[in-house]
Structure 1
Amino acid sequence: MSLSLTLKESLKLTTETLQSGVIEILGEESKILALLPFKDISGSGYSYNMQKNIPEVKFRAIGESYDPQKIEIENRVETLAILGDEAIVDTYQAQVFSDINDLMAVEISLRTKALANTYEKTFLFGDLEKDIHSFNGLSKRVISKQVIQSMGVITDDIDFAVDMIHGEPNAVIMSKSMRRTLTNNNRGLITKARNDFGVQVKQYGDMTIVDLDDEMMGDEVNNIYVVKLSEDSGVCGIQNGGILVTPLGNVGTSPKVKTRIEWFTGLAVLDDRAIVKIIS
């Protein structure tokens, strides 16, 4: 059985200082990563079954037999991708400008923020046909019957999408410009809270508004995703071993000190009705 943890829960279990710092930065930098639960798996992939239909159950008369309808099951396999980078400090910088630990901490922070940005973008728009080393994001995974056209009123769109979700959605993902449209016209419906990493977030009902830069949303700047994040019956991350932060020291004959940040990670959609995409 796989263990499921959010980044905050992983942070509580981490005793290594470098790893703790990287997890903290990921959670502060990405509202998606702060919310997303991760299944910690063994091996390089995760296999699960998806029920494709609800069988019809009938009443029967005394003495009659049941004729059970077949339950259609689809087996899905998610493969881990390798996401990471190396923080590098030249020995000259370490000698002349500052303490090497301070320089390395700054470099690790910058690389980690870039990693968070890449994961967010892949979470939404990852496409294995364009990058075979990544994973498919929500835009590739949402099924056609879970895609709706905007009715012109953003709150009506979101409310309609909520009703299409199997269970309770907990995130609504949109561009910052769409978030401004939502908040400007409906301030009485928007509340503020702080997520697990102390970052202030806005909420619509019980859903956290994950507002991303317009540049990241690209051609989907006017689209909205309503999502149920859940390790049991929704969208969740998968990983093997969590975030790995490895000080490599001086490598070979190169006058540089390296620290490697690496994550064997991916995404799983355990219920097709955990995602609704609103097209504007």
Structure 2
Amino acid sequence: MALTLAQTAKNLSTDTLQAGVVETFARTSPVMELTPQMTVAGNSYQYNQEDTLPDVAFRDVGDGYEPSSGDVARKSETLSIIGGDVDVDKFVAQTLGNVNNQRAVQTNLKVKSLAKKYTQNFFKGDSSASPLEFDGLEKRVANNGNEIMAGTDGGNLSLIKLHELLDAVEGGAEVLFMSKAMRRELQKLLEQSTHYIQNGTDEFGRPVEYFGDVAIRTVEDDVLAFNETQGSATSAGSIYALRFGAQEAISGLTNGGIMVQDLGEIDSKPVYRTRIEFYCGLADFHPKAAARLGGITRSV
């Protein structure tokens, strides 16, 4: 079973350092919190994505069926490497307090930066432009033909388009990802209608809003900024709807999970070093597991 990072953190009670890093990853980004991470062998993963279904038919007594087969698209994902080293100078450790406290502070900052970088790649990654990245949702949704636009030249967010986005996710969307600025557009829209937002909590007990039974999760404005082009609109934004699931919908891929190594004091210079790495990728097992509503312009 593929676990999310939030679930993984709970299972790492014997490795306090790693558990703390994994939990910080999940707390920093809702993408990291919710995405199941499927463990794969080697540095790549091949799978079949559903394409077309086989035919079925009614038959009369004594008649036979016309045989048919469905089609699948063969896909391959290569794991990417994201990570960084955290160095704390011995002088800093000596003069500013306990070495573990200083390393913990710097490690926490590094993890937050890595979580933000992963989140950016989750939506905007493009391996053809940056070969070290994995392809993100924007490229995958476009390739799968599951994009909806607010208008030819952009347009304000509407409930009709929002429901069209949700309906585009086969099997039912679990979450809507958007920027904080886009959430304000949604809240403004709902104030003018009979729809309302419900409240719940996330994996860590923090408040989460729901549109119906679909969670609304926000990322930083610079991750999903109002800087996309749609026709003559050059300051448009997007909302993503998706369903998670290993081997059936959207899933992360990893070999080894988030790895944390305390290298101690290194020989080349007087610093204490911690290395954090994540061998990661993304798979869309179903072409309609994610959808994007793009071309959304600000209402003011």
Q: How high is the TM-score relative to the length of structure 2?
A: 0.88
Provide the residue aligned with 2:66 in structure 1.
67
| C-alpha distance after superposition, 1:183-233 (max 9, x if no partner) | 133155212222102332222122221222222223245211111122242
Alignment of 1:1-280 (within 5 A): 3-14=1-12, 15-142=14-141, 143=143, 145-150=145-150, 152-186=156-190, 189-218=196-225, 219-220=227-228, 222-280=237-295
- The number of aligned residues is 278
Deviates more, 1:69-78 or 1:95-104: 69-78
Deviates more, 1:66-75 or 1:243-252: 66-75
Give the unaligned 5+ runs of structure 1. Answer: none
Provide the residue aligned with 2:232 in structure 1.
none
Provide the residue aligned with 2:233 in structure 1.
none
Q: CA deviation at 1:95?
A: 1.2
Quote the Cα distance in structure 2 between the aligned partners of 1:8 and 1:121: 19
Deviates more, 1:168-177 or 1:114-123: 168-177
Deviates more, 1:250-259 or 1:150-159: 150-159
Percent identity between the two aligned chains: 32
Secondary structure of the residue that 2:260 maps to in structure 1?
strand
Matched to 2:283, the amino acid is: A
Q: CA deviation at 1:277?
A: 1.1
Q: CA deviation at 1:70?
A: 2.8
Native 8 Å contact 1:171 1:208 kept in 2: yes
Secondary structure of the residue that 1:128 maps to in structure 2?
coil
Matched to 2:265, the amino acid is: N
Q: CA deviation at 1:253?
A: 3.2
| C-alpha distance after superposition, 1:110-148 (max 9, x if no partner) | 000001000100000001022211100001101353111
Query: Pairwise CA RMSD of aligned residues?
Result: 1.7
Q: How high is the TM-score relative to the length of structure 1?
A: 0.93
| C-alpha distance after superposition, 1:136-170 (max 9, x if no partner) | 00011013531112264432212112112110211
Quote the Cα distance in structure 1 between the aligned partners of 2:268 and 2:181: 49
Quote the Cα distance in structure 2 between the aligned partners of 1:50 and 1:96: 56
Native 8 Å contact 1:224 1:277 kept in 2: yes
Q: CA deviation at 1:43?
A: 1.4
Matched to 1:12, the amino acid is: K
